[in-house]
Structure 1
Amino acid sequence: MASSFSFDSLNQAQRQAVATLDGPVLILAGAGTGKTRTVTCRIAHMLEKRIPPEEILAVTFTNKAASEMRERIGGMVSKKAAKEMTVCTFHSLCVRLLRGGIDKLGYKKNFSICSHSDQVGMMKQLLVRKGGTDEKVKPEAVLGAISNAKNKGLDPANLEDDFFAHLAVAYQNELRAQNAVDFDDLLLFAEKILREHEDVREHFRQRFSRVTVD
C-alpha cells in the first residue's frame, strides 16, 4: 500500500511516534507544531502495515477536523481505506455507543438529542411550573450551572443553589420522560455504560484494535 508521506519529512520525535504502532503513545507539543500531521501519518503507517482499516478508530473534537483527517489519510494511503475507518467526533462516537446500549440506563434506543433551543424551551416551562417566573432567573443560567456540574463529573442535583438543584432534577426527569438526552449526557452516559458494563467494553475492544485521539 503506497503512501505519500515520508519519514524524512518528520523530525525525530515525530518519526518515533509514527513508527510506534503497539502500546500507548502520547504526543505533547504546542499549537502549530504538527501534532495532527503526526497523528495522521501514524494512522497511514498503520494502514501500510496491513492493520485492517475497520479496526482503526480516530476521534477528533470537531466534524471539520474529522473530515479533514479522513481526507488527508485518503490522500496518503487510499480513499477506500480511509472510508472504511471510523473517524468521528467524541459526541458522534458516544451516539453510536448509546444507540446500541442506552437501554441499559432505562432509555429506549431511539432516543432524541435535545438541541440548545429545546433545552431553553424546556427550562422556561420548568421555571413556570416551579414558580421561578422572576426575570432574574434566566433559563440559560440554570442550564449553564447544570452543564458545568456535569462536565466536572458532579451531580447537578447537588448544586449549591437549592432552587437550581431542584430545577436540575426536574430537567433530568423531563428529559427521561421524553426519551431525550442533552449533549453533556451523551458523554456521561457513554462513559457510564463503558465503566459499568463489561460486555459493551469487550465489544469495542474487539471492534477497534487501534484508537487514536487528536
Structure 2
Amino acid sequence: MAARLNFAQQSAVDEESHCLVAACPGSGKTTVLVEKAASILSKTPESRIVVATFTRDAANEMRKRIVSRVGEEMSERISTNTFHGLAFRQLRKSKKIKGGASILTEAEQLSFASRAAAVAGIDISREEAMRVIEETRITLAGSGANDEAARLVAAYEDLVKRNRSIDFQDLMRMAVIGMRNGGSPPLKCTHLFITGFCFTITTVLFPVRL
C-alpha cells in the first residue's frame, strides 16, 4: 500500500531528474525513497534500481521495504548494497582484485598509517596520519596535495600493495577510477539511489549504464 506523503515528499517522488532529499532523522526520507523506487519500477518496465548505503543491515532493510511495497515479481530489478560492496563487485568483475586479496580492518589501516609515517619521515600520530591519507586520497588522484602528504600516501599505498591488501577507501576509489576510464564495467541500472551523506561520499559517484 502506498504511503501517505506530504507535498514536499510527493514532489521528490514525482521528480524525474536528479533529486537530493535532505531532512532531519525521522522525517520520512526512507519512505520517500521506497515510494520513488515503487513509482519508477511500476511506470518503467525496463528500469533497474541500485541502492547504495553504509551498512549491510541498512541495505537489507531497504531491499525488504522496497520489495514489500512493489511485490516479489519486481525483486530482480532491485539491487541494494553497501558502497564498499558495490565497489568490490565492480572490481571483481574487471579482475582488479584477485581472490587472495584481503581487506584491511580499521586497526590494520592505523598500523599501516603509522608505519607509512615512519617511512616518510613524518612525526605524527597514527590517527593523524590516517586522517591525512584519507583526505589526500579523497580527490581520487590526490591532486593539490602537498609534498609531505603525497609522500605519506605513497608510503602507505606501497605498504598496502606489498601486503596484498586493500582498504575500504581504496575499494571505492579504484572502482570509480576504473569505471571512469573504462577499465571496469558501469553499474547495470537505470537509477542509482544513495542514502546517507558524508564528506567521503564524493568518491562514490558510480557511473551507470542506462
Normalising by structure 2, we get a TM-score of: 0.75
Counterparts of residues 1-214 of structure 1 (less than 5 Å): 4-6=1-3, 9-20=4-15, 23-31=16-24, 32-49=26-43, 51=45, 55-79=48-72, 81-82=74-75, 85-101=78-94, 103=96, 108=98, 110-126=100-116, 137-153=124-140, 155=142, 158-159=145-146, 162=148, 165-197=150-182, 200-201=185-186, 204=187, 207-214=188-195
User: Shift in Å at residue 96 of structure 1?
Assistant: 0.9
Structure 1, unmatched stretches of 5+, are: none
Contact 1:100 1:109 in 2 (8 A): no
% same residue: 26
Residues 15 and 124 of structure 1: CA distance in aligned 2, closer, same or farther (over 3 Å): closer
CA apart distance, 1:87: 0.5
Secondary structure of the structure 1 residue equivalent to 2:124: coil
Deviation at 1:155, TM superposition (A): 2.2
Q: Distance in 1 between matches of 2:11 and 2:116?
A: 55
Give the match's secondary structure for 1:74.
Answer: helix
SS in 1 for 2:94: helix
1:60-89 alpha-carbon deviations (Å, 9 max, x no partner): 233332222112113222246346621112
Q: Does the 8 Å contact 2:51/2:194 carry over to 1?
A: yes
Distance 2:27 2:121 in 1: 53
TM-superposed CA distance for 1:188, in Å, is 1.3
How far apart in 1 are the matches of 2:103 and 2:177?
18
Measured in 2, the distance between the counterparts of 1:157 and 1:173 equals: 20
Shift of 1:59: 1.6
Q: Which has the larger radius of gyration?
A: 1
Change (3 A) 1:95 1:17: same
AA aligned to 1:67 is: N
Distance, in Å, in 1 between the alignment partners of 2:193 and 2:172 is: 17
- Distance between the aligned counterparts of 2:144 and 2:12, measured in 1? 43
Q: Which structure features the higher share of helix residues?
A: 1
Greater alpha carbon shift after TM alignment, 81-90 vs 186-195: 81-90
Alpha-carbon distance in 2 for matches of 1:74, 1:111: 34
Question: RMSD over aligned Cα, in angstroms?
Answer: 3.1
Cα deviation, 1:156-189, whole Å, max 9, x if unaligned, reads 99445x3x54332121112122332211111211
Conserved in 2, the CA contact under 8 Å of 1:57 and 1:208? yes
Question: In structure 2, how many angstroms separate the alpha carbons of the residues matched to 1:13 and 1:191?
Answer: 32
